[in-house]
Amino acid sequence: MRGATFAVGLTGSILGLLGAFIALLIGLAGQELGDQDADAVTVGACVALAAAAVGIFGASLVWRRPKLGGVVMLASAVVGFVAVFLAYLLGGILLLVAGTLALFQSAPARQQ
């Protein structure tokens, strides 16, 4: 189950990176065309890029500390949604699913 949670979280983070990068390109194009609201899009895209990177970290935490990884992925999804909603939609949904799955997993047993 951890493997599936990791795969969904990693896929969501990669799609979030892709969506944030597209939003960044749109924001930069808007700045070049003189749109005054393009600065907000560019800043939101940078925040979403950071959130997606944190989502990758959360997905990697699932192997050792699934609950902490789930919280990190959920936070990444929420921040990405707030930053650039439409561009982060698919990745954010996958991060929400992976974060929820990780919260219901138990920590691995310690070997002695």
Q: How many Cα atoms are found within 13 Å in the side-chain-facing hemisphere of 29?
A: 6
Quote the pLDDT of residue 111.
Answer: 65
Is the dihedral angle over the CA atoms 93, 8, 20, 43 positive or is it negative?
positive
pLDDT in tens, 21-44: 999 999 999 999 998 889 999 999
Overall pTM > 0.85: yes
Residues 6+ apart with CB under 8 A from 58: 9, 13, 68, 69, 70, 71, 72, 73, 75, 76, 95, 99
Q: How far apart are CA 67 and CA 75, in angstroms?
A: 12
Annotated domain spans of the chain:
7-103
